[in-house]
Amino acid sequence: MNNDMPDKLLRLSKSCLSNLEKQAVMEVLDRGFLGMGTEVQQFEKVLTDFFGRPVVCVVNGTAAVQLAVQACGIGLGDEVLIPSLTYVASFQAISATGAKPIACDINSDSCNVDWRDAERRLTVNTKAIMPVHYSGGVDGLDEIYNFAERHGLRVIEDAAHAFGSEYQGKKVGSFGDVSCFSFDGIKNITSGEGGCVVSDDPIVIRKIKDSRLLGVENDTSKRYEGKRSWQFDVKSQGWRYHMSDIMASIGLAQFNRFSEFAATRRLLACCYDGLLRNHQSIKPLARDYNTVVPHIYVVRIKNIHDRVALQSQLLKHGIQSGIHYQPNHQLSFYRDPNALPLPVTDAVFPELLTLPLHPDLAEEDVEFVVKQLTVAVQ
């Protein structure tokens, strides 16, 4: 036995499940229909009521973004402005349509896209801007929408981190052009995998309903009746991106627990903020947890010399940590030697560290994390 191993591992993130989710899945299994049917329909109804406008559920958040881009008529030769500091899934979803993601710089305080920098990257091929609500924070959406309106752009929000967050008293997803959410295993609610697109645009919603089912026109209504289309037409590229009833059953159970999850996430984030408020080197991101439901908790560590060594030291005390995210303009597939530089992203990224945050943590766990972190960065 290695006596140096910690007794408890504080995971960076995790699925938080109960008997409610297990029972919901068993009910679907007992019915013997596992595909897209009444559970998906019910989950979409619950989400439609939550956002106050139409929702289409799909297999994951990446598919949600891809189908949203495609449904907006964006494809080969087009360009989408997007912050470089996001998970590669956002970039892959754009390039999967044939469009080109154009990496933009961020605001140093929020880590969200800087629309002024995005404006410098406009071309005749620019068709949309994709703000990414990093860690659940929503900043400057009015400015982004004003910028988009001036230049005739669609706004496709990657809101994977922001389920339950609000902007100016309105839920993210309840307003604006198109919003995409993720329900993967560690998000604010999960359906195991899964995602959704929210929009008032009836054309976008109709196109996504068809394209998630291989482009088979009007197949959604048949699936909700436990049937499928045997004679049909296909007029555009589709994908096998629909959600299953198993996934939707988990999502419904999680949705019923969301207020509990949101309260805990906010409490823990506020605890981190309070403990780190006066630290000279460790700075939390600027977030108002009265309106933000945080998906991850990120700090900036000034003058950090070896982030990998710091992570290893924390792990010795049973603390997982993460890095969200390696900027996409640094990846071989998306590197563009002719692009304008991204000085803020390049300066901020080496200082970022993500600390454990999920509803199965307690305040004393946060206190322990902060204690070990502050010792490690002295």
Which active-site residues does the annotation give?
187
Burial class of residue 202 (count of CB atoms within 10 Å of its CB; 0-12, 13-18, 19+) = exposed
- How far apart CA 262 and CA 223 sit, in angstroms, is 32
- How far apart CA 196 and CA 157 sit, in angstroms, is 12
Beta-carbon contacts of 178 under 8 Å, excluding residues fewer than 6 positions away, are: 68, 71, 72, 154, 155, 156, 157, 197, 198, 199, 201, 204
Q: What is the chain's percent helix, strand, coil content, to nearest 5?
A: 40, 15, 45
Q: Which residues of 254-267 are buried (b: 16+ CB within 10 A; e: fewer)?
A: bbebeeebbebbbb
Q: Which residues of 5-40 are buried (b: 16+ CB within 10 A; e: fewer)?
A: eeeeebebbeebbeeebeebbeebeeeeeeebbbbb
Which residue, chain included where needed, has tokens 């197949």?
Answer: 219
- How far apart CA 258 and CA 203 sit, in angstroms, is 30
Contact 178, 157 (CB under 8 A): yes
> Among residues 71, 54, 255, 66, which one has the least CA distance to residue 174?
54
- How far apart CA 140 and CA 83 sit, in angstroms, is 14
Calculate the CA 3 to chain-centre distance.
38
Q: Which two tokens stand for residue 10?
A: 């504080």
- What is the CB neighbour count within 10 angstroms for residue 160? 29
Distances (CA, A) of 177 to 68, 145, 173, 295: 10, 9, 9, 22
For residues 61, 214, 69, 208, the Cα torsion angle rounded to the nearest 10 degrees is: -80
Contact 282, 212 (CB under 8 A): no
